[in-house]
């Protein structure tokens, strides 16, 4: 992404640099204006407006130092969810302001809403959930007991592979901070819905999942907690589907396959955690 118009904003009580283009800010404002009449399910509304957007990996890894990046031209799975949630939160607050959107995106993307260098980003989705629950933005929904399975967290992928991360590979202090946060997280047990339980209709126990819920796909890949995220939508087939920034389709799509079928093609995917925006 070309780096244009860096400036300083006061976001979450911290002045920081912002990377965006005029087209990004204009589209944010247009979307917020359109969304003023969509307050019942704003996350799903905004995610659907972004369908067709090109998928590009690592859209936040474009600067030598951490900056807030607003990019409405390219999305990956995490930035799709963060964009839709920041738009929805701004709408919930009754605002159509680009500055307010940036403040909300900062709250969502960084630990306790504070951009303080690369380690402050919610790199693992468990950290993302923890931070946004603490700020009363979302809540993780515990599945019914019949659908529930435990995941013992053991995250260490970033500290084991710092060379994979441009802003981490030569920064030993940042590596240490990431490792400490990983170790503080490990040992916790969280609940998820196993893939085998996802082939149920909306009228079953699985129907507690709502359109617009954030779905985090739990993985058995070594050192990770989740491997992909997207947004829930019940299809006309009465089965759960995933609206996501897809590496396979190279764009933001509502998967034509059910979520159960989709996960069946990815053997490392174990199931889903369910996160809901608070009203």
88-112 per-position pLDDT tens digit: 999 999 999 999 999 999 999 999 9
Nearest to 142 by CA among 260, 41, 133, 233: 133
Q: What is the pLDDT of residues 184-233, one digit of tens each?
A: 999 999 999 999 999 999 999 999 999 999 999 999 999 999 999 999 99
Q: In this model, does residue 12 exceed pLDDT 90?
A: no
Q: Write phi, then psi, for 276 (nearest 5 degrees).
A: -125, 135
19/279 Cα distance (integer angstroms): 30
Token digits of residue 204:
């079953």
The answer to whether the CB of 19 falls within 8 A of the CB of 62 is yes
A 10 A CB-CB count for 248 gives: 12
Counting Cβ atoms within 10 Å, is residue 162 exposed (0-12), middle (13-18) or buried (19+)? Answer: middle
DSSP annotation of 54: B
- Residue 8 binned pLDDT confidence (cut-offs 50, 70, 90): very low
Query: What is the percentage of the chain residues whose pLDDT exceeds 90?
Result: 92
Q: In this model, does residue 10 exceed pLDDT 60?
A: no
Number of H helices, E strands in the chain: 8, 11
Q: What is the pLDDT of residues 42-62, one digit of tens each?
A: 999 999 999 999 999 999 999
215/209 Cα distance (integer angstroms): 9
Q: Write phi, then psi, for 143 (nearest 5 degrees).
A: -65, 155
225/127 Cα distance (integer angstroms): 10
Q: What is the pLDDT of residue 66?
A: 96
Q: What is the pLDDT of residues 126-182, one digit of tens each?
A: 999 999 999 999 999 999 999 999 999 999 999 999 999 999 999 999 999 999 999
Q: What is the pLDDT of residue 233?
A: 98
Token digits of residue 103:
């403040």
Q: Write phi, then psi, for 275 (nearest 5 degrees).
A: -125, 135
134/121 Cα distance (integer angstroms): 15
Kindly give the residue spans of alpha helices, DSSP state H, lying in 93-227. 98-109, 125-134, 157-160, 172-185
CA distances from 86 to 75, 107, 270 (A): 14, 9, 28
Q: What is the pLDDT of residue 134?
A: 98
Q: Write phi, then psi, for 240 (nearest 5 degrees).
A: -80, 135
């Amino acid at each position: 992404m070309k780096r244009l118009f860096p400036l300083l904003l006061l976001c979450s009580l911290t002045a920081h640099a912002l990377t965006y283009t005029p087209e990004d800010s204009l589209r944010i404002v247009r979307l917020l204006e359109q969304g003023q009449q969509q307050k019942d399910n704003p996350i799903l509304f905004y995610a659907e407006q972004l369908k067709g957007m090109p998928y590009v990996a690592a859209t936040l890894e474009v600067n030598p130092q951490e900056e807030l990046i607003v990019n409405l031209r390219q999305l990956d799975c995490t930035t799709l969810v963060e964009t839709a949630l920041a738009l929805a939160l701004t709408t919930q607050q009754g605002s159509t302001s680009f500055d307010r959107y940036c403040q909300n995106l900062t709250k969502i993307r960084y630990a306790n809403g504070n951009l303080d260098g690369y380690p402050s980003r919610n790199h693992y989705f468990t950290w993302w959930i923890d931070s946004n629950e603490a700020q009363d933005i979302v809540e993780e929904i515990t599945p019914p007991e019949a659908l529930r399975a435990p995941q013992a967290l053991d995250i260490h992928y970033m500290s084991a592979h710092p060379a994979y991360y441009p802003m981490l590979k030569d920064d030993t202090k940042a590596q240490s901070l990431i490792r400490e946060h990983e170790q503080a997280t490990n040992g916790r047990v969280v609940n998820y819905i196993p893939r085998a339980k996802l082939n149920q209709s909306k009228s079953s126990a699985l129907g507690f999942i709502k359109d617009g819920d954030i779905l985090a796909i739990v993985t058995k890949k070594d050192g990770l907690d989740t491997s992909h995220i997207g947004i829930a939508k019940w299809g006309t087939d009465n089965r759960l589907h995933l609206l996501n920034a897809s590496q396979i389709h190279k764009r933001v799509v509502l998967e034509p396959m059910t979520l159960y079928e989709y996960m069946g093609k990815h053997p490392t995917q174990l199931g889903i955690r369910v996160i809901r925006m608070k009203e």
